[in-house]
Chains A and B, each alone.
Chain A
């Protein structure tokens, strides 16, 4: 079946999503879910009064059904008692949309999960700013991403073959995919400077944010450096020279490989 064979109702919710946005206030909690394979990300905010969902908003990065299910779940549960809202299932959301294509049932029908997560977070007293993304079908409890000491097992094998501990002449990295490990302001500044020489610079950090001063952070935001957060490099791969880095995604507890020609680990 074509992924675009959505019901009219799904398309209508995709075109005119209800309750888009975020909420703030003392009685607000958020549920964040993501699916590492499909790439959907969903934030559902609830404002709770007398154990009822007084207001609800969402933000979603994802395909048509990810947007439509988010919109639909907010319509279904606004005004509902929390216990009642916890009973709203993925199937209920899909039914309310007159069904979803089978391939999408599993992947992007995450809205009910995000809602349940928001309710659990509210009951556990987890503030929106502390809520972490819950990988779907892995854990029902937010797991804080710890900052990890970076230790790449075979780093030395690739020294001079893609791995460098200092870069004196930035132009040697022209046209390469460069990953700079976040070791503070100097590394971040090097990453920014490298964008004048190559189209692909990734600053990789195990934290949720790079460990840099606020001035460098705003410079980073305005630059073409791609930030890769909560990522721990595990192992280097390549035939005679660096070609790929095996990375542990600390947030979603998944491993993947990132293609790269150069890795800079400043001393």
Chain B
């Protein structure tokens, strides 16, 4: 494949080669290939490796090892957190609060809960995609048992005030779940400092393998299992542990713990340069989501634009021809043909949500990626605008 500028880190990240290296001893004979449930020595090696990995992942997130349950990824972690918590705690109430900025994984689980007799309230977000703790609190009733707020938006990169929401809920009897997938490795996450009850994690988002993740379950928080079987992971997640992938997640966490500050500074510099150049060089372009300043309000990797009069899928196709991989919230690129719910909730009109283009950078982004993007993006926008019946409306007379 030719050399593509990859600016879609939010969709998938390359696995760090050091992580691949760390996974290799867990496959074949001569390595650690046992079942952690077996009582023989081969099984004991597996148990030791599993617990080492658990400790490494826990350490990176400021958690205790016994608070980490390995899953097949964040989607499974979200299912276990929301369905498992709601079912286990149903006698306390039947009301769940989420936000309008949630990932589709959480939105669809919430619909499932509604079908199964729970009430779900969706808290609106502001212009920048941020949920207001005040508005969230106004939606909590005596029946509320669980609040779920994504740590950051996978789409527009807005970082939610999770610490503030967690402090607000602490001691109230209402559990807080957060899907931290978009935020992990990009903003500090420390369970010893923030009283979150449940947190979904994915390995790939810290440059580990796909197909593995974890659910953080704070000590004392009760969830019912969703997958039943042999009783692995304290009975909460049955199925023989995928040791190679789990070791990969642990290696990814250890590397990230050491390199995150430098990583983030470099990624943010690339992103800042792209945002600066796009807004300066392309007329009628806008940044969606939170402003770059103050820096804590937005993921350092995320640049999310809209361009008046241009549709997102057409931009993606044109950029693909020019060797640039990016993403869009346009309806035309989705399975449902609905535009991004997050952008609509931010207050954008459908036609504006259709014109969105998302670039996300990461550990292997190159410093000249911005130059290569900007060598083609203005031309792509200009060409599509000549085709567009909508753009002339915005041109000054």
- Interface residues, chain A, CB within 8 Å of chain B? 3-4, 6, 11, 14-15, 17, 20, 32, 36-43, 59-64, 66-67, 103, 107-108, 175-177, 198-200, 202, 218, 221-222, 226-228, 238-240, 243-244, 256, 258-261
With A103-B335, A239-B139 already in contact, the answer to whether A61 and B311 are too (CB < 8 A) is yes
Count of chain B residues near A, Cβ 8 A? 46
Contact call A107/B337, Cβ cutoff below 8 A: yes
Instruction: Give the chain B neighbours of A103 by CB distance below 8 A.
Output: 335, 337
Stretch at the interface among B22-30, B211-219, B383-391: B383-391
What is the 8 Å Cβ interface bit string for chain B, positions 311-348, against chain A (1 contact, 0 not)? Answer: 11110111011000000001111110111000011110
B195 within 8 A of A: no
Contact call A4/B320, Cβ cutoff below 8 A: yes
Closest A residue to B386 by beta carbon equals: A20
Please list the 9 inter-chain residue pairs (A to B) with the smallest Cβ-Cβ separation, ordered nearest first: A63-B332, A63-B313, A59-B389, A259-B347, A177-B347, A39-B354, A43-B389, A61-B388, A61-B390
Contact call B389/A41, Cβ cutoff below 8 A: yes
CB distance from A118 to the nearest CB of B (A): 13
CB distance from B395 to the nearest CB of A (A): 8
Contact call B331/A39, Cβ cutoff below 8 A: yes
Contact call B331/A14, Cβ cutoff below 8 A: no
B184-207, CB < 8 A from A: none
Instruction: Give the chain B neighbours of A39 by CB distance below 8 A.
Output: 311, 330-332, 339, 350-351, 354
Contact call B387/A59, Cβ cutoff below 8 A: yes
B126 within 8 A of A: yes
CB distance from A34 to the nearest CB of B (A): 10
Q: Which of B124, B138, B337 contacts A244 (CB 8 A)?
A: B124
Bound CA–CA A60/B314 (angstroms): 11
Contact call A11/B317, Cβ cutoff below 8 A: yes
A-B contact pairs, 17 of them (CB 8 A): A3-B334, A4-B320, A15-B318, A38-B332, A39-B339, A39-B354, A59-B388, A60-B388, A61-B309, A61-B310, A61-B391, A63-B311, A63-B330, A108-B332, A175-B126, A228-B349, A259-B346
Closest A residue to B313 by beta carbon equals: A63
- Interface residues, chain B, CB within 8 Å of chain A? 124, 126-127, 135, 138-139, 309-314, 316-318, 320-321, 330-335, 337-339, 344-347, 349-352, 354, 386-391, 393-397
Count, A-B residue pairs, CB within 8 A: 121
Q: Which of A3, A17, A61 contacts B389 (CB 8 A)?
A: A61
| Residue among B310, B334, B352, B354 with most chain A CB within 10 A | B354
Contact call A36/B349, Cβ cutoff below 8 A: no
Q: Which of A17, A41, A258 contacts B349 (CB 8 A)?
A: A258
Instruction: Give the chain A neighbours of B316 by CB distance below 8 A.
Output: 4
Instruction: Give the chain B neighbours of A15 by CB distance below 8 A.
Output: 318, 321
Bound CA–CA A79/B314 (angstroms): 29
CB distance from B99 to the nearest CB of A (A): 13
Instruction: Give the chain B neighbours of A260 by CB distance below 8 A.
Output: 347
Instruction: Give the chain B neighbours of A244 by CB distance below 8 A.
Output: 124
Instruction: Give the chain B neighbours of A228 by CB distance below 8 A.
Output: 349
Bound CA–CA A244/B317 (angstroms): 34
Q: Which of B127, B387, B391 contacts A175 (CB 8 A)?
A: B127
Contact call A218/B337, Cβ cutoff below 8 A: no
Bound CA–CA A63/B395 (angstroms): 22
Closest B residue to A214 by beta carbon equals: B397
Closest A residue to B339 by beta carbon equals: A39
With A67-B387, A107-B337 already in contact, the answer to whether A199 and B332 are too (CB < 8 A) is no
Contact call B124/A243, Cβ cutoff below 8 A: yes
Instruction: Give the chain A neighbours of B390 by CB distance below 8 A.
Output: 41, 61
CB distance from B381 to the nearest CB of A (A): 13
Instruction: Give the chain B neighbours of A6 by CB distance below 8 A.
Output: 317
Contact call A239/B127, Cβ cutoff below 8 A: no
Contact call A221/B337, Cβ cutoff below 8 A: no
CB distance from A225 to the nearest CB of B (A): 11
Bound CA–CA A62/B391 (angstroms): 12
Contact call A176/B127, Cβ cutoff below 8 A: yes
Instruction: Give the chain B neighbours of A43 by CB distance below 8 A.
Output: 389
Contact call B396/A218, Cβ cutoff below 8 A: yes
With A218-B397, A239-B139 already in contact, the answer to whether A60 and B386 are too (CB < 8 A) is no
Contact call A66/B127, Cβ cutoff below 8 A: no
Bound CA–CA A200/B346 (angstroms): 10
User: Besides A42-B389, A175-B126, A200-B347, 6 other CB < 8 A contacts?
Assistant: A4-B313, A4-B320, A15-B318, A61-B311, A66-B311, A177-B126
Bound CA–CA A256/B353 (angstroms): 14
Contact call A17/B387, Cβ cutoff below 8 A: yes
Closest B residue to A224 by beta carbon equals: B286
Contact call A256/B350, Cβ cutoff below 8 A: yes
Closest B residue to A37 by beta carbon equals: B337
Bound CA–CA A151/B82 (angstroms): 42
Instruction: Give the chain B neighbours of A175 by CB distance below 8 A.
Output: 126-127
